[in-house]
Amino acid sequence: DYASKNNISKFSIALSGGMVSSLVLTLLKIIKDRSLFPMELEAIFMPGFFSSSLSYDLAYDLCRLLGVKLTTMPIKFIHSTIRTAYRDSFHSEMLGLADENIQSRLRGALIYARSNAIGSIVLNTSNKSEIAVGYSTIYGDSVGALSVLGDLYKSEVFALAQYINKLTNGLIPRDIISRAPSAELRENQEDSQ
């Protein structure tokens, strides 16, 4: 409804290989397949220094199953340049939360650059649990014109994914649902921490 009222038919999703972004993309694909509303879906995987090869494999598998093109745009080189510029300007290293959040903000800036270039709408890939506890980066993973899962708690996100898999005979790869959630912004990070 939002997209049709605003004459938008292109959607860009930052796909991490994690549960929430995978569910957002899957829901859009289901909507596209079951409606007369013309949609173009684009998934963008933006690996950083701490992104695992499993994340890429899962993002790739999901896009293959959904028939959605996956574009990879690494952020680690830009991240390295920003670390150097920070060190040169402030004469100290960018560490901890500052270094973690800059990765998320780079992804937000890049997906919006793509959105502006092709006239797409960026879909937010967060949920109510992350927002409620502050586990979200302003101008980073919180970007997006529409928060598709914004009214769902993380437990409901997993329940919805399992329900969709039951109806579709496993459209979402099982490892996406079963793996421990992680933003992969530092070594061995898990959301539960």
Which residues of the chain register pLDDT less than 50? none
The Cα 58–Cα 177 span in angstroms is 10
Q: Residue 185: what pLDDT?
A: 63
Q: Residue 162: what pLDDT?
A: 96
Q: Residue 92: what pLDDT?
A: 97
- Burial environment of residue 112 by CB neighbours within 10 A (0 to 12, 13 to 18, 19 or more): middle
Q: Residue 93: what pLDDT?
A: 97
CB 159 within 8 A of CB 49: no
Q: Residue 191: what pLDDT?
A: 58
Q: Residue 120: what pLDDT?
A: 95
Q: Residue 131: what pLDDT?
A: 80
